[in-house]
Amino acid sequence: MIIYSEGDTNSQQSEADKVLGILCDVYPGHPWAVRVIGGCVFIRHLEFPGNWGMNAKFKEINHDSAVFKREIIMKAGEFLERAGLVRGRYDDSPILRVEGVPERFQPVKPPITLEPT
C-alpha cells in the first residue's frame, strides 16, 4: 500500500500528516495521498488515475479537532462512495468509474473480447 503526504512548509506538512493519519485510521488499507498547500487540503485515492480527488478549504474545516476530523472523514468517504468503494478497510477492488468525473478522465477499461463458443 502506498500512502503519501505533502505540504510546502513544516506546518503544512504537519497538517498533511494529520489528515493522512485520520484517513488511515478510519479507512485503512486505502492508498491515500494528501497535499496541504495555499490554505487547501487535497485528498486523492491513488488507485484512481489522474489528479482527481476531494478538496477542502482549510479555514472552513479547521474550527476544532472534532469538526476537522469529521470533515476529513466525510470528504474521503464521499469520494469512496462516488468510486463505488467500501467505506472501511480497502478490499483491493478496482475503481471502474467515479461519479462526477468527466468521461475522458475515467479509468481506461480493457476492450471486451468475445471468445468463440
Predicted pLDDT at 1: 59
Q: Structural domain of residue 16, as residue ranges?
A: 4-105
For the stretch 49-59, pLDDT in tens is: 888 899 988 88
For the stretch 71-94, pLDDT in tens is: 999 999 999 999 999 999 999 888
For the stretch 102-114, pLDDT in tens is: 888 888 766 666 7
DSSP 28: T
Predicted pLDDT at 105: 85
**Spatial contact of 72 and 25, defined as CB atoms under 8 Å apart:** no
In a domain, 115, yes or no: no
The structural domain count of the chain equals: 1
- How does residue 5 score in pLDDT terms, banded at 50, 70 and 90? confident
In a domain, 60, yes or no: yes
What whole-number distance in Å separates Cα of residue 14 and Cα of residue 100? 30
Predicted pLDDT at 79: 94
In a domain, 111, yes or no: no
In a domain, 93, yes or no: yes
Q: What is the mean pLDDT of residues 38-60?
A: 89
Q: Any bridge partners for residue 35, and if so which?
A: 6, 42
Predicted pLDDT at 23: 96
Alpha carbon separation from 14 to 4, 19, 20, 21, 58 (Å, rounded): 12, 9, 10, 10, 13
In a domain, 11, yes or no: yes
β-pairing, 4-7 vs 32-37, is parallel
In a domain, 28, yes or no: yes
pTM listed for this prediction: 0.83
> Three cell numbers at 23?
484517513
